[in-house]
Amino acid sequence: MAIVDWDRDAVKNGLADGSVLLIDVREPNEFAAGHIPGSVSFPLSDFDVERLQALIAADGRRPVLSCAAGVRSARALQYLQGQGIPLTEHYAGGFKDWANAGETVE
């Protein structure tokens, strides 16, 4: 299964129209220091596949993973795919791309 890279515009559009559940896999201290508005924290260090599946099922939006720069979110996708979870999409630039572009940060 492939990994699909999303860019900032795709993430912005998905958040704006309410179609995307942006799942931030950075650590809690990183998320607390600043995150993309509308994203939810789901740290890679405490990654629970069943809890993630429940979050996605309960939310109903298209799940897209995010991290600081795209490395951890890609790793998380590889892990999930290895567990039989068919998630493929992540924000390749991550929080650093978002913040460096001057986008709003919470």
> What residues are labeled active site?
67
Residue linked to tokens 């809690």: 28
* Length of the chain measured in residues: 106
Q: What is the DSSP letter of 93?
A: S
> In angstroms, rounded to a whole number, what is the distance separating the alpha carbons of residues 5 and 59?
22
